[in-house]
Structure 1
Amino acid sequence: MSFTNEAVDRQDVLAEVTACFHAYEAAFMANDLPTLIGFFWQDERLTRYGVADRQLGHAEQAAYRHSVPTPSFTRQLENLRISSFGPDTAVALVEFVRSDSSLRGFQSQTWARMPEGWRIVSAHVSMIPWPPT
């Protein structure tokens, strides 16, 4: 299946997912658990790989979020890139710098439009020394 130029980076989809991404970030930093957990697909096929953790399925994701305290650090986001592929799929990629670490973070999220709205169906977070050697 190939996408036409009109299907890639639709402005309406980019606007919607960008708003969701920033709302997710605000919920993450505030540890707003109902909002944060609600952004994830409520399905056992949900996958999230963290810096030192892994959740397979929505139940594991929710349990993990309940075990994590409110961040005691700040995050500066850099190089946010959001691309859409058709009306119902988008990918968000961002780099971040945490106030409590010299490492550079990388976060990717795959968003899908579900009947209940945009949801993260997969996510990955990593941190590495920066600049790389």
Structure 2
Amino acid sequence: MTAIDTPEIDLAEPKAELEAAFRRYEAALVGNDVAALDALFLDAPTTIRYGATENLYGYEAIASFRAGRSPAGLARSLEKTVITTFGRDFGIASTLFRRASAPGMIGRQMQSWVRTAEGWKVAAAHVSLIADPDGAAS
């Protein structure tokens, strides 16, 4: 077995681009901008989104979920956001979030992003909500 060379981590240009894409995603999410959210996901049958209550396989399933989702209660605050790029074309965004509508809970979100000809896209995402281990409430 041959070891894979460690990619360059957090090169300035791709990291800044992915941070900007993540900010666009967050603005689209809390603003319920479904078209922008759709544009930020990789349009492929291999794209996956595991949500708090749903398992979505493929871009079409994710877009359908977004189109039917209620726009109520989407505001949230982020904590401990970490964005890391590996080389120029892959990165991971991880964050904790809180919503006033879920006191005593903390959300966790991880996204795998890939650079495409159209820009950075989410290829896989996981969102979960758990009881806040620190006991803090929003």
Q: Deviations over 1:83-131 (max 9, x none)?
A: 1100000000000011111210000000000111110000000010011
Per the alignment, residue 6 of structure 2 pairs with: 3
Q: Is the 8 A contact 2:31 2:74 kept in 1?
A: no
- CA distance in 2 between counterparts of 1:26 and 1:119 reads 15
2:49 is aligned with 1:48: yes
- CA distance in 1 between counterparts of 2:16 and 2:37 reads 19
Q: Is the 8 A contact 1:93 1:107 kept in 2?
A: yes
Q: Is the 8 A contact 1:29 1:71 kept in 2?
A: no
- CA distance in 2 between counterparts of 1:71 and 1:3 reads 43
Cα offset for 1:13? 1.1
- CA distance in 2 between counterparts of 1:43 and 1:74 reads 28
Per the alignment, residue 88 of structure 1 pairs with: 89
- CA distance in 1 between counterparts of 2:64 and 2:92 reads 25
SS across alignment from 1:119? strand
Cα offset for 1:44? 0.1
| Structure 2 gaps, min length 5 | none
Q: Is the 8 A contact 2:32 2:74 kept in 1?
A: no
Q: Which runs of 4+ in 1 moved over 4 A?
A: none
Q: Which amino acid aligns with 2:129?
A: M
- Size of the alignment, in residue pairs? 131
Q: Is the 8 A contact 2:110 2:125 kept in 1?
A: yes
Cα offset for 1:61? 0.6
- CA distance in 1 between counterparts of 2:133 and 2:106 reads 8
Cα offset for 1:70? 1.1
